[in-house]
Structure formats: structure tokens, C-alpha cells
């Protein structure tokens, strides 16, 4: 909402020393933020002048050398406009003048002195939509009787200031100059002046010649009146300039008055050509698929939630949003039907979102004061009589299905103090209500506050408390510590500790987007699920909620690699989404990607499967799953992983994730990934940490190497050893691997530690077990002891 | 006798400083303390002496023996030290050569800022409350006093899920946690929560990302006021942006709070003097807050005549951008390793 200072000054006295910036700041402090505040025309040193001499420039085919009388002196000015001639009254920018296009300097143009510039209207910086061709093509011609040497902006009545407010959606009342006047009145403790609603009517009754039928629930108040014999012409300067200051393009006096009254009262109006409209006006919901050509000459297809205005023959307007082309006021219009009505806010919002958001629809959407509906009708008649020579037909067509009543809200001083947390004197509270234009009656136990209908936003006590806080100054509330019970705060420690653990292991945490392309959602998983997709995505790249996080990590790898960073070890924790039996589900997942060099302790190495396996083990150990997990090679490995270098991660018999190398079809680089469903993993209980007796007796270490078939896994050998050795075996570690020692065979060497917590083992005892291990492994795995 | 002992001692003192090797010292030791050494010599004829004389000689020779032993041991230590020092001189390394680097990991700046907020509020007895990212229209809007068709919905262009009716969405605000927390609280007693999390809106430019993070706070009790809200926010902003930070309330409008305020903090770049960042105002808008609207309390089963409370919500990304001086929100979600790597050390407390 753009507020013109001149416009609002019709209704409230603003002290001259109040700068526009100050007013804007004071409004902000009561909750009405602004985008900009300043003069309508941002120019200096513009004066009125008269062209007293005009000769063609000797060195140009279009320039003229002018002598311009600016009062105190006569200036030489070179000018290129086609419409220059002696005797014209013009706008002159003196040397040193600032215009939106830059500063004007005295100088020489192709050999002729030029001490200033004669201006077009466009050069003053008005928005393009307020200009016509002649404003751009030639210098502006001031009226012939203009005195020279005066401030040109003042002479043109453009010496206005404007605040562009960004209002909150509850304050529909501020979408009017009058509403603004009340707000400023509350801030500066000034009364709001009356609006002039006086006009004379003829003795006819409009109800005898015109009828309104409301056939929908979505219109609770509809007023119509007729005026006759209007003269369509240009509006007076003040109307045009105030419209321009408010951001609306002037058209002709009749159209301008409808907009002017809307700006003043906040009530949108529609003027119909009475002869084109006919004798009956119907308000109804549109039929499904019904078509209308709107004022902008476009055909629109409607649905039943749209409200339309029709006459006996056809649809003539889209209520609250835009009129129809067929009943528009035109140059030859004589008689007018004025519509002032209230349509359902939500319906208008829906229609306008679909078709066009306009000044009118914006006001309907926020809700209207029915008193203003009447006021706008009266004000229209008053202005049409004055500025369009209208003859006002007596009577008012009125279809009304609502009560117009001020609200009375009861409130106590104690409640105000309890919500704001500060004490404000009772007399000050009452004064604030009065400044806002609310009547206050002091009852025995509470205040009865009467809120005028224009404040649709005030419904309950808390709304009144906000009004007190706003005007008193919200920032005058002094902060304090709440007095609350001492209780234990809490957060999800496990999740946080996992992140810290992985960072400590040298991985960098990433945070990527949940939304991914639909084409990628089933990748990196073999799970069968229904993905969750968006109804109205911003782009096809982001139309589906991710299930696996690995797509995102792969993209991050590619992004960084393209920037010459291929040493990437990253992790991300985030939600995984899917739908199951019509219900949306979310799981927490952890994904890891490792590629390039990784420094472990002091060894810089290229990442391989065993690095990422190490990270996995470290994490599972940390979470308490040591000895309870295994890697399984089964058919749950997605095709994006290398079939020979990947596995599913199984904890306590449950598959919780996958680990492995990316398939060469995904990337040619050696990239290793892991993904764990944390929701699933963390459901598996681990038991609490407990002290274990440390053996006081030294262990005995024995080394053994077996030659086995290449397809025997280390785990199989370890399991065979453990099973055979029994409880004296404390630890088993592989320390050497020799692949292809002979055709199809490999050698695997293990260090076995034997101990007994109750005594020192003798060599004989150990040898007995050790020899059993050797023969058992040889038999079971078709192995040979390597000597 | 005494004189003799003194003489032996002074002879030793004068000769020992010239002994520089352990073998010379061993010879010297034998000369004084050996079986045929000087001190043994001294007591050789003891049996010929009277009891008193014997006592005297015994005492003197014992003292002398201890003194000589100490002198020789001291010298031995000196020689050993000299040998060691000589050896260490040959082990000098170039300490300016590069270190053997250990890989550094890091937490994402959004994790860091989230933990900072969580830790503060947990220390004040708040529970970190988590809600789903897919939310119903009812929880995200309707129960927060934003019925369908409400004009304030314009401020949040929401992603709806493919559904017959617009019933489910990606949450556009963590305020939905207010509803969840109140509904989850079966006995409808006091509540003290913060809810950090991802939120989504159809918006994308240098200061808006379609995915970002917010933190919502909610306190419900019998005697909670705007002054408590301001005090809490002062504590929060000082904690995150520094002790000198001041907080300012401006009236505003949110459908789920009444009264509502926009909260500004003193510009942390210029300290409130005015600069480009704060557009010369000295203040930066950081969050919205207010007293929970009675209708919101009622819709989630609380009696507004008994309970009142405050709620606040702020963008964590903006906080991270302020705190670390990140100019473009898209950097945060770009996951350039050169960006992520910058958050790998302890920040100054």
C-alpha cells in the first residue's frame, strides 16, 4: 500500500516538521513495516521557465538553441525535443539539478552554450505506466498561464511524499487512506477528520428502474445506485496525482473516482454502463466451465467457486476481481450503475489467485467493513456530482444479509499485565484505547471496550492486549527470566554422538537436498517401496523425496571432483521417505562415501573396501554392536554396487544396510559407499557397558598359516579356528595374506592368543589345543598347514 | 688421623676433575675404595689401637668413605650426562619439516549451529522435540489458526504432496511442532521444547533456499508473559551472537500468536552503528515470536483460561550465515568440500 502524504493529510493534520521517514519509522514501531519512504519526484532545482527564443542549432539537423527565461535570468539551453517553440512554458533543470538520470551540468553542445535542460515528464522519474507517448517524446508543456521562476514540481502539484508499506495480512483496514489516518491518529494522538459525503439526489427512486438479485451465500451485502448524464473527461490534477502517488494509473474522471474512493475508504467499487447493463443485476456462483471476457480482453473459463455478476442476458463481471468488457464505462457512457458490495473473502482469494490479483481483490481478500460499503457509495456520488457533473438518482438498492454492529470486548487490567509482563498505568491503558478510536466503559470488574467495525482484526482480549502493547511500545517491555520448575532438558544423544564419531574418524559431514529427480529414487537400493512425490514441484530435478541418501552423496562427489577435489570422505544423516498403505513414513538414514586419498594416522592411502569397512566397524563397535554384526553377500545388493566388492550389513540377524564399491557403470572411479537405516539399527538393543575381569595370567601366542582354496573367506577360517579352539582362545588376528601361492590356492596366516583367567597356561595345554585346531581346520576346509 | 683423612680427601678433589672417562673413574675408585685402596690402608692397623682410638679411627674412616663414594658417584653422573648430551647432539632433526598429517573430519555448519541452540536450551530445561518433515495441512496450518484460504498462507509457498486433496505437505515451518508437542502431552500440563529441523518452501535465490532449517521454541505454563519471551530471546541471542547483542521487539502479525512481534538484534557487523548489512539501521530482523494464540491452545486441548505461553521461530541458516559470515545460503547446501572443511575446529567460546 502506497500512502500519499497529501492524500492522508485530508483526514489528519501531520505536523510539517514530521519528516516522511519519521512517519514511516513511527508506523513501523506500531507494526506497519515499510519498504521505502520519500518524495514522489526525486529531483532538485527544477523551475518553471518560458522559451523566449528558439533557433535551429547551426551544427545539427534536430537540435535547437533556446533562450529560456527562468525568472531571475535568461538561460542558453540546447534542446533536442521536436515540440520546442517560442512562448512555451516548460520545466527547466538548472545547472546542478539532480534527476533520476543524473546531474545536469552547464556545458557546450556542439559549440553552443547549454546551461541547463528543458525536461520531458518522463525525465522526472515517474513509473512508465503513468506516462503516455507525448510524456516521453517531447518536453512537457505547462499551462500557458504558468508563472516563470517557480518550483516546477510544486506547480505540477507533484510535490508529494510517499510511503510504500508492506502490511501484515490482518490489517485490511490499512488498505485505505482513512484507515491510515486512524492509525496515525493513534500514534500522534490526533483526531481523524470527517469525509465529505454531501451531494443532492433527484426525486426518482432507483429501485423503480433497477433490481439486484443475490443468488449466492457468498455475497452478504450488495448496494447499487444510479447516476445519470456524466461528463467523461480528464480528472482534476489532484485526483490524477494522488492516484499516481498511490500507484494507480489515471484513466478518466469516472474511472479515477472509483479508484480514488477505493483508496480513501478501502471499499472496491465497480461502475457499470447502466444502458449496457440493463435493468437487472444478478449475483451468483459461476456455472462450471462458464466463460467470460474480462476487461483486459481475455476469455476466462470459470468454476463454481467463482462469483459472477450477470444481467438478464449474460455474465458481465467476475465479482471482486475484474469487470467484463461488455458493460465497461466508455467515452460515450452517460448513465452509471455503482456497485459497492462485500463478497466472500476466501472465494475472491481463490478466484484472484487463478486469474488476477488486483487492488480490488487484495482488499476483498482481507475482509471489508460494511459501514465503509455504504460510505464508499455516498462518497462516489459526492465526487461524481462534483467532478463528472453527475445527476444522482434518489434511493439505494440494498441487499443485506448481515448485522452491522460494533464489537464489545471485556478485558481486565490484570489480564493485560499478565500477558505483557509489565505494569502499565490504568489511565494510560484507557487513553491508548481512546486514541485508537475505541470507546471504553469502566465496569465493576472489567473494561468494556467497543471496537469499531473497521477493525475486523480485533476479536478477543488478546487482540486488545496487542493494541495496548503496540501503542505503548512493544519494545518498552523489559525482558526477564521466566520462573519455571527446574526440570531435566534432553536431546537425542545417539544421533549427535554418531555424527561426532564420524567427524573424529576424519569424515566431513554434508547436508544436501531432500528433493531429488524421480528417475533416481529407486537407485542404490533393492527395497520395494512407493516413493513420495510432489504435486507441484519447482522443477523435474526436485520432484521426489529421497529414499536412499546415496544419490545425493554421489552428486556431491561429482560436484567436488569437477572442481579438482577427488579426495572425498563424507557422511550425511537424514530422513528417508516412502509411502506404505497410504501412510507416509520417515526413517533416519546414515550414508557414507569415500574416495581418493585418506590419511589414517600417518599413512596416506587410497581408499579401498577395507577403509570403509573399518569406518563401519568402528561405528558399529562404538554403538555397542561388536561381535553382533556380519557382512552378507546376498541378493539384496543393488545393481549400483560392484557385485564382487559389496555386501549387506547384518546386525543380530537383521539387514540394516549395504556397503561396497560403486559399480563401474555408475562411476569409473574407485568410490566406496555405505548406507545404514539408523531407525532400524538403533531399535536393536545393545545392553549397558559392564566391567569385565582382566586376566592376571599372561597369554601364550601361537602363529599358524594355512593354504586354502581361493574361494575360502577369512571369516570361514576364523570361524573354524574359533570353534575348534574353544574357550582358551582369547584373540585371533590375521597377519599375512599370500594370494595365488599355487594354482587356485592362497595362504592365510593367523596369530592366536590363548589365555585362562584362572591360571597360567602350560605350553602342553596350549599345544594340545593348537594341534587340534590345525587338524580340525585342515579337515573342515580342505586346508594344508603351511610350514 | 683427622689430618690424614683431610689430606686424602683434598688429593681426591684435586685429581677427580681431570678424570673424563668411565674407565679412568673406575681406576680411581679402586685406588680409593678398593680392597687395597687408600681407605682400607688407613684402617689396617686398627687392632693395635686402644678402644677409644679405634672408635675415633673407625668414625673418621667411615665418614671419609662415604664422602669419597659420593664424590666419585657425582663425577660418574657428570660423565654419563656429558656422554648422553654428546649423543643427543647427533640426533638433532629439522623441526620445520612438515608434520605427518592426521585426517581432519568436520561437522556441517548447520549441525554446529543446531547443537549450539540445543545445548543452550537443554541447559535451561527444554526438551529437544522432533517432528516429521512430511506434515498434514491440519498440523502445519489449520491448527495454527491458518484455515484454508487464509491470506497469511501467501507468506509460505508450500510444497504439497501428490494426493487427491491438498492434505499433506513438506512442512513449511517448524511451528508445526507446537501442535505436535501440545497434542502429544496427554496430561495437558506445562511444556518447554525447542524443535530444530528442515523446512521447505517454493522459493530459491541468494537469500532463500527451497530447503532450509528453522528452530521453534514453545513454553507453556500458568504464568508466562511477553517479558519472559523477551528475556529468553535475550539470553539466546547473546549466547549465539555475543554478549553485547541487544534485542528489540516490534509489533507484527502471525495467525498463531497474539500479541505477535518481530524481533531485531543489534547488527553484529557494526555493533548497531549502521552499515551495509543492516541497511544503516543498526538492527537486523532475526525472528518472529509472540504469545500462543488462545485458539491454538484450545485446538490442541489446552484451556487458555489456565495456560498461556510463548512461541518463537527463527531461521537457523540465517543464524549460521550471520555467525560465520556466509553471504549466500546456496553455499550452505552446495557441499563444496572446500566450504565444509572450514568448520573443522573448535570455535571461540
DSSP string, A628-658: SEEEE-STTS-TTEEEEEEEEEEETTEEEEE
Q: Do B127 and A490 touch (CB under 8 A)?
A: yes
Residue from A459, A449, A457, A447 nearest A414 by CA:
A447
Half-sphere exposure of A600 (CA within 13 A, CB side): 11
| pLDDT computed for residue B308 by the predictor | 95
B225 vs A317, which has greater pLDDT? B225
Q: Choose, out of B97, B100, B103, B217, the residue to mutate when testing the contact with A (most A CBs < 10 Å).
A: B103
Of B221, B291, B141, whose CA–CA distance to A474 is shortest?
Answer: B291
Map residue A35 onto helix, strand or coil.
strand
Phi, psi of A674 (to 5 degrees): -150, 140
Most confident of A327-331, A466-470, B269-273: A466-470
* Interface membership of B155 toward A (CB under 8 Å): yes
Percent of all residues in chain A with a pLDDT value above 90, rounded to a whole number: 74
Q: Residue A457: pLDDT above 80? A: yes
Chain A residues with CB-CB distance to B331 below 8 A:
none
Q: What is the mean pLDDT of residues A310-337?
A: 88
Closest by Cβ to A503, choosing from B105, B125, B232: B105
d(CA A105, CA A118): 13
pLDDT in tens, A111-147: 888 889 999 999 998 888 888 888 888 899 999 999 9
Residue found under cell 530459491: B204
Q: Given this model, what pLDDT does residue A337 score? A: 95
Are A570 and A508 a contacting pair, CB within 8 Å?
A: yes
H helical segments located in A67-176: 133-137, 152-155
Helix boundaries (H) for chain B: 2-16, 22-33, 38-42, 51-89, 109-123, 137-140, 176-184, 226-241, 294-299, 316-324, 329-334, 337-340
In angstroms, what separates the C-alpha of B344 from chain A's closest C-alpha? 9
The pLDDT of residue A601: 61
Q: CA–CA separation, A435 vs A265, rounded Å?
A: 20
Query: Contact at 8 Å (CB) between A93 and A45?
Result: yes
Nearest to A222 by CA among A235, A213, A233, A231: A213
The DSSP symbol for A522 reads T
Give the Cα separation of A305 and A292 in Å (integer): 15
Q: Rounded to whole angstroms, what are the CA distances from A735 to A238, A610, A704, A750?
A: 96, 15, 10, 6
- Summarize pLDDT for A286-308 with one digit per residue, the tens: 999 888 888 788 888 999 999 99
Q: Which of A634, A248, A596, A214 is nearest to A398 (CA)?
A: A214
CB A375, CB A194: distance < 8 Å: no
For A633-757, strand residue ranges (E) read: 641-651, 654-662, 671-677, 700-709, 729-742, 745-754
B316 part of contact set with chain A, CB < 8 Å: no
DSSP one-letter code for A506: T
Helix (H, G, I), strand (E, B) or coil at B130: coil
Looking at residues A362-371, what average pLDDT do you find?
A: 95
Whether pLDDT at A574 is above 70: yes
User: Cell numbers of A524, please?
Assistant: 542404490
Residue A674 has a pLDDT of 97
Q: Give just the sign of the alpha carbon dihedral A326, A329, A335, A340.
A: positive
- pLDDT for residue A23: 97
Report whether the peptide linkage leading into residue A639 is cis, meaning its omega lies within 30 degrees of zero.
Answer: no
Are the C-beta atoms of B103 and A569 separated by less than 8 Å?
A: yes
Strand ranges inside A159-231, DSSP E:
161-166, 211-214, 219-228
Sorted by sequence, the CB contacts under 8 Å of residue A206 that are 6+ apart come out as A224, A225, A226, A393, A394, A395, A396, A397
Question: What is the reported pLDDT for A171?
Answer: 94
A683 in helix, strand or coil? coil
Is B251:B260 a contact under the CB 8 Å cutoff? yes
Tell me: pLDDT of A695 over 90. Answer: no
From A571, which residue of chain B is nearest by alpha-carbon distance? B107
Q: What pLDDT does residue A194 have?
A: 95
The residues, any chain, with a CB within 8 Å of residue A688's CB and separated by 6 or more, are none
Closest-CA distance, B319 to chain A, in angstroms, reads 16
Q: Is B174 helix (H, G, I), strand (E, B) or coil?
A: coil
Say how far apart CA B55 and CA B63 lie, in whole Å: 12
Written as nine digits, the cell of A423 is 505494569
**Cα A380 from chain centroid (whole Å):** 38
pLDDT of residue A645: 94
pLDDT in tens, B114-170: 999 999 999 999 999 999 999 999 999 999 999 988 877 877 789 999 876 678 999
Q: Compute φ and ψ for A669, nearest 5 degrees.
A: -75, 160
B239 close contact with A: CB closer than 8 A: no
CA nearest to A29, candidates B207, B84, B337, B250: B250
Q: Would you call B133 and A366 a contact, using CB atoms and an 8 Å cutoff?
A: no
Q: Identify whether the C-beta of residue A579 lies closer than 8 Å to the C-beta of residue A532.
A: yes
Determine the pLDDT at residue A602.
64
pLDDT of residue A14: 94
Query: What is the rounded CA–CA span in Å between residue A381 and residue A642?
Result: 82
For residues A49-57, give the mean pLDDT.
90
CA distance A80 to A72: 24
Enclosing H/E stretch for A587: strand A583-595
Kindly give, in sequence order, each residue whose CB lies less than 8 Å from that of residue B304, ignoring residues fewer than 6 positions away.
B294, B297, B298
Report yes or no: B332 and A511 within 8 Å, Cβ to Cβ: yes
Chain A, nearest residue to B265 by Cα: A475
Pinpoint the alpha helices (H) of A562-668. Answer: 609-622
Is the pLDDT assigned to residue A678 strictly greater than 90? yes
SS3 A276: helix
Q: Are strands A700-709 and A784-785 parallel, antiparallel or unpaired?
A: antiparallel
Whether B12 shows a pLDDT value over 90: the answer reads no
B108 in contact with A, Cβ within 8 Å: yes
Yes or no, beta carbons of A536 and B192 under 8 Å apart = no
C-alpha cell at B275: 552499515
Q: Is the ipTM of this complex over 0.85?
A: yes
Q: What is the dihedral of CA A39, A42, A45, A48, to 10 degrees?
A: -80
pLDDT digits (tens, 9 = 90+) for A631-648: 998 888 999 999 999 999
Query: Which positions in chain B touch A514 (Cβ < 8 Å)?
Result: 133, 170, 198, 200, 211
Contact between A77 and A68 (Cβ < 8 Å): yes
A740: left (phi over 0), alpha (psi -120 to 50) or beta: left
**Which residues of chain B does A537 touch, with a Cβ-Cβ cutoff of 8 Å?**
159
- B106 CB neighbours in chain A (<8 A) are 503, 508-509
Give the gap in angstroms from C-alpha A462 to the nearest C-alpha of chain B. Answer: 6
pLDDT in tens, B288-336: 999 999 999 999 999 999 999 999 999 999 999 988 888 888 899 999 9
Q: Are B291 and B258 in contact (CB under 8 A)?
A: yes
Q: For A163-172, write each residue's pLDDT tens digit.
A: 999 999 999 9
Collapsed DSSP state (helix, strand, coil) of residue A596? coil
Question: What pLDDT, on a 0 to 100 scale, did the predictor assign at position B81?
Answer: 93
Burial class (CB in 10 A: 0-12, 13-18, 19+), A451: buried
pLDDT at A600 (0 to 100): 65
Mean pLDDT estimate for chain A = 92
Cα separations (Å) of A380 from A388, A399, A474, A564, B178?
11, 19, 39, 70, 48
Contact B259 A470 (CB under 8 A): yes
Answer yes or no: are the C-beta atoms of A114 and A10 closer than 8 Å.
no
**Residues in chain B closer than 8 A to A479 (CB atoms):** 227, 229-234, 247
Between B44 and A527, name the one with better pLDDT. Answer: A527
Pick from A474, A509, A537: CB nearest B249 = A474
* A663 within 8 A of A599, measured Cβ to Cβ: no
Nearest CA in chain A to B220: A484
**CA angle, A227 then A232 then A238, to 5°:** 100
Confidence class of residue B270 from pLDDT cuts 50, 70 and 90? Answer: confident
Q: State the pLDDT at residue B164.
A: 66
What is the C-alpha separation between A63 and A40, in angstroms, rounded? 31
Task: Give the pLDDT of residue B214.
Answer: 96
Contacts A470 to B, Cβ<8 Å: 251, 259
At A379 the pLDDT is 97
- CA distance, residue B87 to nearest chain A CA (Å): 28
| All cell numbers assigned to B107 | 561437522
- Looking at beta carbons, which residues of chain A come within 8 Å of B260? 466
Residues A361-399: b if buried by 16+ CB within 10 A, e if exposed: bbbbbbbbbbebbbbbbbbbbbbbbebbebbbbebbbeb
* A279: confidence class by pLDDT, cuts 50, 70, 90: very high
Q: Is the Cβ of B43 closer than 8 Å to some Cβ of chain A?
A: no
Q: Do A506 and B103 touch (CB under 8 A)?
A: yes
Check CB contact under 8 Å for B250 and A418.
no
Given pLDDT bands bounded at 50, 70 and 90, which one contains residue B99? confident
Amino acid at each position: 500500500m502506497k500512502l500519499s502524504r497529501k492524500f492522508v493529510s485530508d483526514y489528519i493534520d501531520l505536523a510539517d516538521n514530521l519528516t516522511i521517514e519519521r512517519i514511516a519509522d513511527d508506523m513501523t514501531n506500531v507494526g506497519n513495516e515499510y519498504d521505502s519512504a520519500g518524495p514522489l519526484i526525486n529531483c532538485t532545482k527544477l523551475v518553471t521557465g518560458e522559451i523566449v527564443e528558439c533557433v535551429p542549432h547551426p551544427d545539427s539537423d534536430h537540435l535547437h538553441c533556446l533562450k529560456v527565461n527562468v525568472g531571475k535570468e535568461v538561460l542558453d539551453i540546447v534542446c533536442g525535443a521536436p515540440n520546442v517553440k517560442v512562448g512555451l512554458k516548460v520545466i527547466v533543470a538548472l545547472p546542478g539539478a539532480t534527476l533520476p538520470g543524473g546531474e545536469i551540468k552547464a556545458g557546450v553542445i556542439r559549440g553552443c552554450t547549454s546551461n541547463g535542460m528543458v525536461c520531458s515528464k518522463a525525465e522526472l522519474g515517474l513509473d512508465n505506466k503513468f506516462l503516455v507517448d507525448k510524456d516521453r517524446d517531447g518536453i512537457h508543456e505547462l499551462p500557458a498561464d504558468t508563472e516563470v521562476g517557480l518550483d516546477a514540481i510544486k506547480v505540477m502539484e507533484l510535490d508529494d511524499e510517499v510511503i510504500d508499506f508492506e502490511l501484515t495480512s490482518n490489517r485490511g483496514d490499512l488498505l485505505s487512506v482513512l484507515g491510515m489516518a486512524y492509525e496515525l491518529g493513534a500514534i500522534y494522538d490526533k483526531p481523524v477528520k470527517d469525509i465529505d459525503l454531501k451531494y443532492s439526489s433527484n426525486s426518482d427512486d432507483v429501485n423503480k428502474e433497477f433490481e439486484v438479485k443475490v443468488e449466492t451465500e457468498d455475497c452478504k451485502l450488495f448496494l447499487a445506485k444510479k447516476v445519470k448524464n456524466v461528463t467523461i473527461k480528464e480528472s482534476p490534477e489532484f485526483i490524477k496525482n494522488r492516484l499516481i502517488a498511490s500507484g494507480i494509473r489515471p484513466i478518466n474522471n469516472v474511472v479515477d473516482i472509483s479508484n480514488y474512493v477505493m483508496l480513501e475508504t478501502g471499499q472496491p467499487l465497480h461502475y457499470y454502463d447502466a444502458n449496457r447493463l440493463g435493468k437487472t443485476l444478478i449475483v451468483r456462483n459461476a456455472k462450471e466451465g462458464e466463460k467470460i471476457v474480462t476487461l483486459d480482453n481475455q476469455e476466462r473459463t470459470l468454476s463454481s467457486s467463482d462469483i459472477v455478476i450477470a444481467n438478464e442476458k449474460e455474465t458481465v463481471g467476475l465479482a471482486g476481481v475484474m469487470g467484463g468488457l461488455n458493460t465497461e464505462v466508455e467515452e460515450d457512457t452517460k448513465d452509471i450503475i455503482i456497485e459497492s458490495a462485500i463478497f466472500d473473502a476466501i472465494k475472491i482469494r481463490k478466484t484472484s489467485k487463478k486469474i488476477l490479483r488486483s487492488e480490488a481483490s487484495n482488499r476483498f481478500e482481507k475482509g471489508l467493513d460494511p459501514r465503509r460499503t455504504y460510505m464508499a457509495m455516498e462518497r462516489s456520488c459526492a465526487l461524481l456530482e462534483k467532478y463528472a457533473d453527475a445527476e444522482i438518482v434518489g434511493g439505494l438498492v440494498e441487499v443485506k444479509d448481515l448485522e452491522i454492529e460494533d464489537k464489545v470486548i471485556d478485558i481486565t487490567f490484570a489480564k493485560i499485565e499478565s500477558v505483557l509482563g509489565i505494569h502499565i498505568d490504568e489511565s494510560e491503558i484507557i487513553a491508548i484505547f481512546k486514541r485508537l478510536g475505541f470507546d471504553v466503559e469502566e465496569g465493576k470488574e472489567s473494561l468494556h471496550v467497543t471496537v469499531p467495525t473497521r477493525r475486523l482484526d480485533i476479536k478477543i482480549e488478546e487482540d486488545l492486549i496487542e493494541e495496548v502493547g503496540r501503542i505503548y511500545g512493544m519494545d518498552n517491555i523489559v525482558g526477564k527470566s521466566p520462573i519455571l520448575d527446574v526440570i531435566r532438558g534432553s536431546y537425542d544423544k545417539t544421533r549427535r554422538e554418531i555424527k561426532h564419531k564420524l567427524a573424529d574418524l576424519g569424515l566431513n559431514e554434508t547436508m544436501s537436498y531432500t528433493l531429488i529427480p524421480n528417475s533416481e529414487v529407486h537407485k542404490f537400493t533393492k527395497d520395494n517401496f512407493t516413493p513420495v512425490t510432489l504435486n507441484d514441484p519447482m522443477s523435474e530435478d526436485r520432484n521426489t523425496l529421497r529414499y536412499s541418501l546415496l544419490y545425493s552423496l554421489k552428486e556431491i562427489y561429482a560436484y567436488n571432483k569437477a572442481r579438482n577435489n577427488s579426495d572425498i570422505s563424507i557422511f550425511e544423516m537424514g530422513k528417508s521417505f516412502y509411502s506404505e498403505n497410504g501412510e507416509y513414513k520417515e526413517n533416519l538414514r546414515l550414508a557414507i562415501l569415500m574416495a581418493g586419498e585418506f590419511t589414517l594416522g600417518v599413512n596416506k592411502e587410497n581408499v579401498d573396501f577395507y577403509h570403509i569397512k573399518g569406518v563401519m566397524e568402528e561405528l558399529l563397535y562404538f554403538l555397542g554392536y561388536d561381535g553382533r554384526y556380519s557382512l552378507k553377500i546376498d541378493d539384496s545388493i543393488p545393481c549400483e554396487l560392484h557385485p564382487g566388492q559389496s555386501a549387506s550389513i547384518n546386525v543380530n540377524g537383521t539387514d540394516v544396510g549395504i556397503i561396497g564399491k560403486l559399480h563401474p557403470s555408475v562411476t569409473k572411479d574407485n568410490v566406496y559407499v555405505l548406507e545404514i537405516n539408523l531407525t532400524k539399527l538403533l531399535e536393536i538393543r545393545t545392553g549397558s557397558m559392564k566391567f569385565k575381569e582382566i586376566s592376571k595370567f599372561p597369554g601364550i601366542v601361537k602363529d599358524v598359516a594355512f593354504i586354502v582354496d581361493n574361494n575360502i573367506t577369512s571369516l570361514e577360517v576364523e570361524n573354524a579356528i574359533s570353534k575348534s579352539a574353544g574357550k582358551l582362545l582369547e584373540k585371533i588376528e590375521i597377519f599375512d595374506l599370500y594370494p595365488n601361492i599355487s594354482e587356485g590356492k592362497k595362504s592365510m596366516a593367523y596369530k592366536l592368543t590363548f589365555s585362562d583367567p584362572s591360571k597360567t597356561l602350560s605350553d602342553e595345554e596350549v599345544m594340545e589345543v593348537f594341534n587340534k585346531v590345525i587338524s580340525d581346520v585342515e579337515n573342515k576346509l580342505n586346508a594344508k598347514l603351511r610350514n | 688421623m683427622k689430618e690424614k683423612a683431610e689430606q686424602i680427601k683434598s688429593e681426591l678433589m684435586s685429581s677427580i676433575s681431570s678424570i673424563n672417562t668411565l674407565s679412568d673413574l673406575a681406576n680411581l675408585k679402586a685406588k680409593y675404595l678398593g680392597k687395597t685402596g687408600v681407605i682400607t690402608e688407613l684402617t689396617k692397623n686398627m687392632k693395635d689401637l686402644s678402644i677409644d682410638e679405634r672408635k675415633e679411627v673407625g668414625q673418621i674412616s667411615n665418614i671419609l668413605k662415604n664422602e669419597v663414594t659420593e664424590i666419585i658417584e657425582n663425577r660418574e653422573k657428570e660423565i654419563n650426562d656429558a656422554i648422553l648430551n654428546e649423543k643427543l647432539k647427533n640426533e638433532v632433526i629439522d623441526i620445520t619439516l612438515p608434520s605427518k598429517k592426521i585426517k581432519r573430519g568436520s561437522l556441517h555448519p548447520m549441525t554446529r549451529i543446531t547443537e549450539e541452540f540445543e545445548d543452550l536450551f537443554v541447559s535451561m530445561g527444554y526438551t529437544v522435540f522432533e517432528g516429521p518433515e512430511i506434515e498434514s495441512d491440519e498440523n502445519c496450518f489449520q491448527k495454527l489458526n491458518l484455515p484454508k484460504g487464509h491470506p497469511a498462507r501467501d507468506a509460505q509457498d508450500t510444497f504439497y504432496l501428490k494426493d487427491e486433496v491438498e492434505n499433506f505437505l513438506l512442512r513449511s515451518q517448524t511451528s508445526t511442532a507446537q501442535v505436535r508437542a501440545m497434542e502429544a502431552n496427554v496430561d495437558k500440563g506445562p511444556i518447554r521444547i525447542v524443535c530444530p529441523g528442515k523446512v521447505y518452501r517454493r522459493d530459491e535465490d541468494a537469500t532463500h533456499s527451497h530447503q532450509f532449517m528453522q528452530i521453534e521454541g514453545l513454553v507453556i505454563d500458568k504464568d508466562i508473559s511477553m517479558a519472559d519471551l523477551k528475556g529468553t530471546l535475550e539470553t539466546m541471542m547473546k549466547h549465539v551472537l555475543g554478549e553485547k547483542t541487544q534485542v528489540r521487539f516490534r509489533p507484527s502479525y502471525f495467525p498463531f500468536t497474539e500479541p505477535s512481534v518481530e524481533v531485531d538484534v543489534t547488527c553484529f557487523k557494526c555493533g548497531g552503528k549502521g552499515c551495509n548489512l543492516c541497511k544503516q539501521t543498526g538492527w537486523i530482523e532475526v525472528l518472529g515470536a509472540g504469545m500462543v494464540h488462545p485458539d491454538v491452545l484450545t485446538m490442541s486441548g489446552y484451556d487458555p483460561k489456565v495456560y498461556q505461553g510463548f512461541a518463537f521461530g527463527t531461521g537457523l541458516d540465517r543464524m549460521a550465515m550471520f555467525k560465520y559470515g556466509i553471504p549466500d545460503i546456496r553455499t550452505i547446501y552446495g557441499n563444496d568440500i572446500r566450504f565444509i572443511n572450514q568448520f573443522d575446529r573448535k570455535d571461540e567460546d
